Structure 1
Amino acid sequence: MKSCAWLLSASALAFTSSGAAIAQTVPAPVGTATTAEAPGDSSQDIVVTALRRNDKLSQTPIAASVLSGADLANKGVVNIDALQFAVPSVVVNNFGQGLEFNIRGIGKAEHNSQTTTGVITYRDGVPTFPGYFQEEPYFDIANIQILRGPQGTSVGQNSTGGAVFANTNDPIIGGGSHGYLAASYGNYNDLNGQGAVNLPISDTFAARVAFSGERRDGFYHITGPGGAAYTGNNGSVRSIAGRISFLWKPTDRLSILSKTDLDYLDMGAYPADPFTNRSKTLTLAGGTVANPNYRDLFDITANMPQEARDKFVRTVLKIDYQFAGGVKFRSISGFQTGNTLYRADLDGTNATANVAATPTAPAQKNYIFFDTTTETQFSQEFNLISPDNQRFTWLVGAFGLWNTYFWLPPYQFVIDAPGAGQPLGTAAGQYTLQGRNPERSLAVFGQVGFKITPRLTVDLGGRYTASQSTNHVDINQNGLLLRDDQQIKSNNFSYKASLGWVIDPNNYLYGFVATGFRPGGINVPVGSGLATPPFQPEKVRSYEAGWKANFAGGRIHTTIDAFYNDYENFQVIVGYPTLPVFGFEINVPGTTKIYGFEAEADFKLGSFTFDAGINALHSELAQFYALDTRTGGSFAPCSPTTGPATATCLNLKGREQTYAPNLTFNLGASYEHRFASGDTLTPRVNFGHIAAQWATLFENAAQGDRLGERNILGAQVAFQHKSWTVTAYGTNLTDQHYVAALNSGLDFAGPPRQYGVKVLKTF
């Protein structure tokens, strides 16, 4: 939902500081459907299941990264935020209640619930909430598959940037009782535990129970009004999550799998402070003066209580039935419902009054934000899938998703930002909202593959999507009551055509062209008499070519690919063209160009392993005019297509795409030393780099738009004795204090250095 320009996106104003909790600590058990090992090959050829088939990654026409449960533990990946330091091309800017997840610069750039995401995150085959509830921990994970580029002709929901599939461990029938228990303790009194157990019930039925819990003190030192101690929450974490799974296989042809997750995630708060606190000096009308508020990212001020809590439940039901001829029918159903509660010191200071700026002093603000929102989502997918081992293969599917946001009554969405000299609670300074926003997406899709020769395969796929978003919302804008009943429909046909060539068992070339789509949305009205047209869908056309190879008998795997994207109708919040004092979401005219290359490699040479990934990217906007309402000055009309260009109506042609750094790379290395007793000692080091990026299209560093580079170094040493493993770990070892996100003029910090010890017992 939208409000005035100076209150853009406050509903998602939050950022999490993830702890160094235990990720998945044991690899997926032998026999699960998420990994496979090539017989007679020492290389462990990875199998990708995200496309509803069991495809070898090394011979699939797609750019993808796959992390096993053990990989997650080795790289310190505990939630979706940490993926950006473990694989190339991924950038995450997290505000707690929502996040911008981008792959190759495409995904989501606006923190607004009505802006859907171009990178779909799946849990056990069903798409997760597209808006809130982003802090779900990774535990008892089998693998995570990150697919880059448009998706949708063979699976689930349509996407423009890519998709992430997080697959948890399934119960194993006939696998006996086995599992693990793990615990860790680190600085900030970070205590974490998790575990899982497989329960064989009969020769056709099994269950698995898993849990995760964490408590951690906050990272922040917060000073209250007048230098007094702050009595609110500084970001201390108290969370617990659990999962119960059941697998029933009454016959060889029928399999029924259900999984239910329960999460209660109390993140304490998402503290933040103004971006101006990063500067040692301030430029005011009276000249340059020392900044009295200059301080470290973790040394901030606040005067208002803060809260951040998510609770939700998700149930997944997957049914597979194989007909006599080998054709498989699959049904994947998902139901999710949750409530998010968030309270913030919206100005990020300990000021208790609103004071206008003077020639020698900046303005003081005392703003607050609060919301409690419920979201429900039901999704259903049906597939018919031909056998994999045929010259001609095919897949057809149907998909439906129904998602509703409930902004609870009475007006439980509150932005309180009074003017100078006005106290909190002044009607003229409040923006409140209640109501609901139901969204619907229906689609049919299909894909066929044909082996032109035993080594040359062509695949063709198509998808038709019909999306709809409706508002039934009451707004109280500065004492003016407004009603919003609007609807937008977005229909689209997207496609993919690929060609794959197995040159020999160790070399594979591929190329494809694909299109992706994400729907438009609704701008809420403002009390200006202005019409508020909806923003339109985004579309992307992607071209990609790649080479996948194995060397040294399968001990070295490499992937190199290049891509080029035409990105149309990028959705962005700027000043409304005819009256820029108000902020609205519009579409960037013309076509944004995004192109680059990627490379990934992993080596296993004796006891030494090494992995690396890199992405180099270039992006540029087409001609586009917009006014940056943050800088004040004239609010004359500014047409996105014609301008005219002035000191305030800026031509943004050639500017970079937001959240699209020109370089990301990751490195990891380990060495396993085996003692004569059979015990092992394995040190490992990881490094992830994300170059500087722009948080807005205006590229105004003076407004905090430039987010500096992120260089995260981690390391661990693991000693294994039989079924016991003790690991000393450290993350962000250089203790880089970096701005991880910018929202509403506030800087949100990434997590600082953390270290501790983990103990794992398998049984």
Structure 2
Amino acid sequence: MALLWAGDATAQAVAADLGASTEQAESPDPAQGEIVVTARRRNENLQTTPLSGSVLSGTDLANKGVANVDALQFASPSIVVNNFGQGIDFNVRGIGKGEHNTQTATGVITYRDGAPTFPGYFQQEPYYDVANIQVLRGPQGTIVGQNATGGAVFVNSNDPIIGGGYHGYVNANVGNYSEAGAQGALNIPVSDTLAARFAVFGTRRNGFYDITGPGGTKYTGNNGDVRQLAGRFSLLWKPTTQLSILSKTDVDYLDMGAYPASPYTNQFRNLPIGSATPNPNYRDLFDITANSPQEARDKFYRSILRVNYEFDGGLQLRSVSAYAKGNTKYRADLDGTATRNNTFFDSVDERQISQELTLISPDTKRLTYLVGVFGLWNKYEFLPPFQFVTGVPLGNRLTEYRLQGTNPNRSLAAFGQIGFVITPKLKLELGGRYTASRSRNDIDVLQYGVPIVAEQETKSDDFSYKASIGWEAGRDHYLYGFVATGFKPGGLNVPVGLGNPAPFGAEQVTSYEAGWKANFADRRIRTSVSAFYNDYEDFQVTIGNPTIPVFGLQVNVPGKTKIYGFEAEADVKLGAFTFDVGMNVLHSELGRFFATDPRIPAAVPCNINTGPASASCRNLKGMEQSYAPNFTFNVGASYEIALGGGATLTPRANYGHIAPQWATLFENPALGDRLEARNIVNAQLALNKGSVTVTAYATNLTDQHYPAALNSGLYFAGPPQQYGLKVLKAF
């Protein structure tokens, strides 16, 4: 078992395997300075593709200390990740999911090996044995899978290699907080047409927190001790040169122990804010009090089958099928104190089935095309008997809100794109997508002892499009521009009070983008610059219920919301020196609408269109999008020092900055809405000789303690400083 343990900072440090598969389809090795992306179902050079995106190889992830989605925001521009415990909200360019619930779809889709993953839960799946991560920014959907308003993230694990022999790696580590572990992978040649790959990951680490119980007594619950095990088995079969069949099955048991959190008021040095009166409850984010048990555990499995058949002439028919099922369990001290008894518990099953079928033309013709159909069926089951419960205290039916039942969702789509080479240097692409979505509630509620039955259904459909043009202005300069639309379906509100609440409508965004990509110094320096402008219609937000403002309600903003900005990236490889930098400047402003902050008691109605404006009913026109900081920046550098005898020593450093951001649309600092800037420094020192690498590492080197998210009046802390030693053996 000791060989199965691994650490949070031990993302695999082996170069990506460019094996033959349906995603990495037998192409020549990329030329110097060329980055290949496969997210659009073709092998394309990122520098001559009309989109904004970043690619991180498995080696890049290890060098930057990126082992899970939380850390990805410090290694790629325009990404913000906010971890509230059971759920993670992922925004790209301020678009994604600023409100956390199962009813609201996400605007940023994460794919694993070509198939969309669970949209909300189970996002702590670790990155191990990863070939690359491809981050596409802006609306996606006319060329692949599920529709997305903000972007898409493609996590591709290493594929088996036929004829590649036995090879792989083992990586073990130890670190502070009693961290210890290992991970590894093995490629197995079964025959001249069949190969397998087996990868494992595990981690154990004690919690970051110092928790005390009532009256200063020792807390007996879980303080966030992490215990994770994961495995992946892959098979690649190529019975003929034209047919390729790849299957991957992942099994994960992710016990995060708990997500302890503290009231936002504990972070104010003085109360009230701006006064000179010391706050008697001021304390560090990791110094917490609690009086209820806590837990946080996900377990799931996922199977993906990718089949690719190439006809004579190069036409390809590709199928991507996926089935995933899991259970998430979460228990929290909802007031974050040892004096009150506001608690929360849920146990939710989720099942998702997806199917994509795509016909892809050869790349060698003047006219290229791609057409496909896609279906996704997702079902949440809030387990009986009423295993979704919050109350003060639990166990008293007159003070509890309990829920059970199902929330099935379905999305069906047809999509396509054509490309036409106008001249050898000028290419036009046109794409379209029709999506039809449906969401249903079959829910039973016990609200303070009163039974409520919610049986509702809502449907939404949309046609989205993308038109782009790309011009190779020279061997090393590429200019592009596009206009694209994206769609996020509507949904159903959770029943609160009498009767069923009204559903909320779909959300649309129109995005305009122009960019310039260039290579310098014989392609040793690669740059990308882009500007974008997004118009939102029917932006989905959570506000106070118009007639019962103490409860929340998901609605659509009637006015237009605008998000626009500028991005720049550069990669430099000059001999032993490597350098990369990325930045994003963003501006967002909400359209005109009135809302009541559900955290502030109010007795007067507040109409979303007309108000009227009052102390409790606020006009939010011009407010910033939540979790959309106006500036993000990341930079990294390394230098390889030859020691003789084939040994090298490589120091590396990476810095990520995320500017302050608002956690709610109401922008109320007194209620903890302003999240401070994040400045994260990671560093490594790697000694390599032959196939063995020993690395000393540290993440969050300055030990910044910062709130990673605000939820239910609680601050959830980002990880503190971690350091350790890891040893990699490749074979």
TM-score by length of 2: 0.97
SS of the residue 1:526 aligns to: coil
Partner of 1:60 in structure 2? 49
Report the Cα offset of residue 635 of structure 1.
2.2
Partner of 1:145 in structure 2? 134
Partner of 1:655 in structure 2? 623
Report the Cα offset of residue 279 of structure 1.
1.2
- 1:73-88 alignment, distance < 5 Å: 73-88=62-77
- 1:417-566 alignment, distance < 5 Å: 417=392, 423-529=393-499, 531-566=500-535
Q: Using the alignment, how far apart are the partners of 1:549 and 1:212 within structure 2?
A: 38
SS of the residue 1:630 aligns to: coil
1:339-395: CA deviations, max 9, x gaps? 1111111111111xxxxxxxxxxxxx3111111110000000000000011100000
Partner of 2:546 in structure 1? 577
8 Å CA contact retained: 2:24, 2:43 = no
Q: Are residues 39 and 488 of structure 1, via their aligned partners in 2, closer, same or farther at CA, if it must alter by over 3 Å?
A: closer
Q: Are residues 19 and 736 of structure 1, via their aligned partners in 2, closer, same or farther at CA, if it must alter by over 3 Å?
A: farther
8 Å CA contact retained: 2:585, 2:632 = yes
Q: Using the alignment, how far apart are the partners of 2:446 and 2:28 within structure 1?
A: 65
4+ long deviations beyond 4 Å = 32-42
Report the Cα offset of residue 723 of structure 1.
0.8
Q: Are residues 326 and 32 of structure 1, via their aligned partners in 2, closer, same or farther at CA, if it must alter by over 3 Å?
A: closer
Instruction: Choose which of 675, 679, 700 in structure 2 pairs with 1:707.
Output: 675
Alignment-mate amino acid for residue 230 of structure 1: Y
Q: Are residues 140 and 205 of structure 1, via their aligned partners in 2, closer, same or farther at CA, if it must alter by over 3 Å?
A: same
1:63-109: CA deviations, max 9, x gaps? 00000010000011101111100000000001232111000000001
Partner of 2:151 in structure 1? 162
Partner of 1:8 in structure 2? none
Q: Are residues 41 and 329 of structure 1, via their aligned partners in 2, closer, same or farther at CA, if it must alter by over 3 Å?
A: closer
Q: Are residues 620 and 727 of structure 1, via their aligned partners in 2, closer, same or farther at CA, if it must alter by over 3 Å?
A: same
Partner of 1:103 in structure 2? 92
8 Å CA contact retained: 1:38, 1:45 = no
Question: Does 2:642 align with 1:674?
Answer: yes
Report the Cα offset of residue 615 of structure 1.
0.2
Q: Using the alignment, how far apart are the partners of 1:38 and 1:240 within structure 2?
A: 34
SS of the residue 1:72 aligns to: helix
Report the Cα offset of residue 37 of structure 1.
11
Report the Cα offset of residue 135 of structure 1.
0.7
Partner of 2:3 in structure 1? none
Question: Does 2:302 align with 1:333?
Answer: no
Q: Using the alignment, how far apart are the partners of 1:342 and 1:656 within structure 2?
A: 31
Report the Cα offset of residue 606 of structure 1.
1.4
Structure 2 spans left out of the alignment, 5+ residues: 1-5
SS of the residue 2:91 aligns to: strand
Question: Does 2:384 align with 1:416?
Answer: no
1:418-473: CA deviations, max 9, x gaps? xxxxx542222100000011100000000000001111000000000000000101
Greater Cα shift, 478-487 or 622-631: 622-631
Question: Does 2:94 align with 1:94?
Answer: no
8 Å CA contact retained: 2:19, 2:160 = no
Q: Using the alignment, how far apart are the partners of 1:24 and 1:637 within structure 2?
A: 55
SS of the residue 1:291 aligns to: coil
8 Å CA contact retained: 2:411, 2:437 = yes
Report the Cα offset of residue 40 of structure 1.
9.7
Q: Using the alignment, how far apart are the partners of 2:276 and 2:11 within structure 1?
A: 48
Report the Cα offset of residue 44 of structure 1.
3.6
What's the % identity of the aligned pairs?
Answer: 66
Alignment-mate amino acid for residue 179 of structure 1: G
Partner of 1:372 in structure 2? 347
8 Å CA contact retained: 2:7, 2:181 = no
SS of the residue 2:727 aligns to: strand
Question: Does 2:300 align with 1:317?
Answer: no
SS of the residue 2:73 aligns to: helix
Report the Cα offset of residue 578 of structure 1.
3.2
Q: Using the alignment, how far apart are the partners of 1:741 and 1:658 within structure 2?
A: 11
Q: Using the alignment, how far apart are the partners of 1:512 and 1:668 within structure 2?
A: 30
Q: Using the alignment, how far apart are the partners of 2:18 and 2:596 within structure 1?
A: 57
Q: Using the alignment, how far apart are the partners of 2:497 and 2:321 within structure 1?
A: 42
SS of the residue 1:303 aligns to: coil
Question: Does 2:571 align with 1:602?
Answer: yes
8 Å CA contact retained: 2:7, 2:182 = no
SS of the residue 1:100 aligns to: strand
Q: Using the alignment, how far apart are the partners of 1:302 and 1:386 within structure 2?
A: 60
Q: Using the alignment, how far apart are the partners of 2:29 and 2:609 within structure 1?
A: 61
8 Å CA contact retained: 1:509, 1:547 = yes
Partner of 1:694 in structure 2? 662
Alignment-mate amino acid for residue 382 of structure 2: W
Partner of 1:247 in structure 2? 236
1:224-262: CA deviations, max 9, x gaps? 111001111100001100000000000000000000000
Q: Using the alignment, how far apart are the partners of 2:564 and 2:298 within structure 1?
A: 37
Q: Using the alignment, how far apart are the partners of 1:387 and 1:346 within structure 2?
A: 56
Q: Are residues 425 and 312 of structure 1, via their aligned partners in 2, closer, same or farther at CA, if it must alter by over 3 Å?
A: same
Q: Using the alignment, how far apart are the partners of 2:507 and 2:73 within structure 1?
A: 24
TM-score by length of 1: 0.93
8 Å CA contact retained: 1:37, 1:44 = no
Pairwise CA RMSD? 1.6
Report the Cα offset of residue 42 of structure 1.
5.7
Report the Cα offset of residue 162 of structure 1.
0.1
Q: Are residues 37 and 253 of structure 1, via their aligned partners in 2, closer, same or farther at CA, if it must alter by over 3 Å?
A: closer
Alignment-mate amino acid for residue 273 of structure 1: S
Report the Cα offset of residue 582 of structure 1.
2.4
8 Å CA contact retained: 2:33, 2:526 = no
Instruction: Choose which of 685, 702, 715 in structure 2 pairs with 1:734.
Output: 702
SS of the residue 1:553 aligns to: coil
Count of aligned positions: 724
Report the Cα offset of residue 637 of structure 1.
1.0
- 1:265-276 alignment, distance < 5 Å: 265-276=254-265
Report the Cα offset of residue 761 of structure 1.
0.3
Q: Using the alignment, how far apart are the partners of 1:45 and 1:371 within structure 2?
A: 47
Partner of 2:365 in structure 1? 390
Structure 1 spans left out of the alignment, 5+ residues: 1-17, 352-364, 418-422
Question: Does 2:613 align with 1:645?
Answer: yes
Q: Are residues 288 and 649 of structure 1, via their aligned partners in 2, closer, same or farther at CA, if it must alter by over 3 Å?
A: farther
Q: Using the alignment, how far apart are the partners of 2:574 and 2:271 within structure 1?
A: 55
Report the Cα offset of residue 571 of structure 1.
1.2
Report the Cα offset of residue 282 of structure 1.
2.7
Q: Using the alignment, how far apart are the partners of 1:642 and 1:266 within structure 2?
A: 47
SS of the residue 1:631 aligns to: coil
Report the Cα offset of residue 32 of structure 1.
4.6
Q: Using the alignment, how far apart are the partners of 1:234 and 1:516 within structure 2?
A: 41
Partner of 1:4 in structure 2? none
8 Å CA contact retained: 2:33, 2:524 = no
